[in-house]
Amino acid sequence: MPSWTDRYWNSAEGLRLHYRDYAGPRDKPPIFCIPGLTRNARDFEPVADRYAGAWRVIAVDLRGRGESESDPDSRRYEPRHYVADILKLLDQEGIADAVFIGTSLGGLCTMLLASSDADRIAGAMINDIGPEIDQTGLERIGSYVGKETGFASWEDAAHELATRNAEIYPNWSGDDWERFTRRVCHQTPDGIRFHYDMRIADNFGAAANSPDAKRWPHFRALAGRPVTILRGEFSDLLSQDVAERMAKELGDDARLVVVPEVGHAPTLEEPEAHDAIDRLLERVMEREETLS
């Protein structure tokens, strides 16, 4: 596993936010990774394993997740504030543009960022999310988000998560579940706990149920740059129909890749995901050469 440096930046409200910074060249856009609703920077270890060194890789903990501070006002757990935080980090680091990999909520943030600051996006992978979100997936996430759960040991946690998510990753081994568990949980004095502020659930319903029509213009703002739409074959959040419409909306700028036998969301460890990121980065560099 490549080494990283733990770095921090401050939100407009003064929250101390954390990101992992994997070293790489500064003469091309970094890979900028934004995790899903309850997840954190550790989700992107597979990306760093494959690309760090050849590329600078930045993986953020959104406010209230991982090593970032929790927000005392849970109303600010919503995409506009996350995007403001991301822009502040880009400015702090002097990053003109980046290749964004956004999983689920991270993909929504990437689309929202494109709607206001498209020039900051050199390319994007939207991982298993779209302008229209299936209600089945929203209800599944709503059934567990924000519900504090404790485990006596890492083994107990891995067993419970394997049982709970067996339909999402039906082919995983025990080692896969242990690795997954150590990414989404952390050790506390009270045992193993999920690594996010449970109050992110306060805003989940309102954010999830915002009108789909508002999100399509955000997605269309990605036009003109390389975009990969990644979908898990069994996803209950991004339907095949919506994914195909997304690809059609962007035409030649978009590639749609379906990861077989995986639900929401691909972990970016899958061979199909590796190949999709490889192709995306190739297209980014071709575009950079054309623009230079």
Which candidate, 3, 40, 23, 46, places its Cα nearest to that of 93?
23
* Long-range contacts, stretch 1-8, CB < 8 angstroms, 24+ apart: 1/45, 1/48, 1/49, 2/48, 2/49, 2/52, 2/53, 4/48, 4/52, 4/57, 6/67
Residue 186 bridge partners (DSSP): 193
Distance CA 16, CA 13 (A): 9
Phi-psi region of 282 (alpha: psi -120 to 50; beta: other; left: phi over 0): alpha
H/E run at residue 57: strand 57-60
List of residues 6+ apart from 83 with CB closer than 8 A:
109, 112, 113, 116
Using the predicted structure, report yes or no on whether residue 163 has a pLDDT greater than 90.
Answer: yes
Enter the pTM of the model: 0.97
Q: Residue 9 phi/psi, 5° resolution? A: -145, 170
- Please provide the distance, in angstroms rounded to a whole number, between the alpha carbons at the two ends of the chain: 33
Using the predicted structure, report yes or no on whether residue 195 has a pLDDT greater than 90.
Answer: yes
C-beta separation of 155 from 181 below 8 A: no
Question: What mean pLDDT, rounded, does the chain reach?
Answer: 95
> Among residues of the chain, what percentage have pLDDT more than 90?
92
Strands 57-60 and 121-127: unpaired
pLDDT digit string (tens) for 9-57?
Answer: 999 999 999 999 999 999 999 999 999 999 999 999 999 999 999 999 9
pLDDT digit string (tens) for 197-228?
Answer: 999 999 886 655 566 667 999 999 999 999 99
Cis peptide preceding 207, ω within 30 of 0: no
The region of weakest confidence among 139-143, 148-152, 213-217 is 213-217
pLDDT digit string (tens) for 104-124?
Answer: 999 999 999 999 999 999 999
The domain limits of the chain are 5-143+200-291
Q: Could you please state the CATH topology (level 3) that the domain comprising 5-143+200-291 is classified under.
A: Rossmann fold (3.40.50)
Residue 100 bridge partners (DSSP): 32, 124
Distance CA 66, CA 193 (A): 11
State residue 211's pLDDT score. Answer: 60
